[in-house]
Structure 1
């Protein structure tokens, strides 16, 4: 079943909160996006930014597993949320 846009945004915000509390992963996210802590606050309501949070999270299965286990959600939820948020998707070809 496809998740709603509101549920996708909520999941992305949960992923952002998870990243912020992860002392090892947060600097990697900031470095790869060029964002700073102020950007995280300012853009938390921006669907495109939230999509980029999910893009980052889904780059590594271990990150997805850790996040989903902590949140008690299925492992496919971050990708489903990413698809609902739309925007530019990565293509690895």
Structure 2
């Protein structure tokens, strides 16, 4: 599945909205990335920042399920969106 970059950004914004509303997970994201609330607001317009949000959520299947269920997205949409954003090219080591 491939997505246009604009669609990927919309999905990442939905995930960011879910993350911002998650009182338990948002501090984990902030602690692991060092971003402040103002950085998050500013980053919402930056495709590279949105990619980092997806990278974070994609680290845990339970987070993917929760974010997708909240936004009404199919689970495979998150990795597809990540591939469409900066740095999302799949690396093949063989």
* TM-score of the two chains, using structure 2 as the length reference: 0.90
Residues 1:18 and 2:21 aligned together: no
2:48 alignment partner in structure 1? 48
Residues 11-48 of structure 1 deviation map (CA, whole Å, 9 limit, x = unaligned): 00111111000000000000000000000011111111
Matches within 5 A, 1:4-83: 4-83=4-83
Structure 1 unaligned blocks of 5 or more: none
The offset of 1:71, in angstroms, is 1.3
Matched residue SS, 1:3: coil
* Unmatched 5+ stretches in structure 2: none
Deviations 1:56-82 (A, max 9, x none): 000000000011111111101110000
Q: How far has the Cα of 1:86 moved from its partner?
A: 2.7
Distance across 1 between alignment mates of 2:90 and 2:37: 24
After the TM superposition, which segments of 4 or more aligned residues of structure 1 sit over 3 Å from their partners? 88-91
The size of the alignment, in residue pairs, is 92
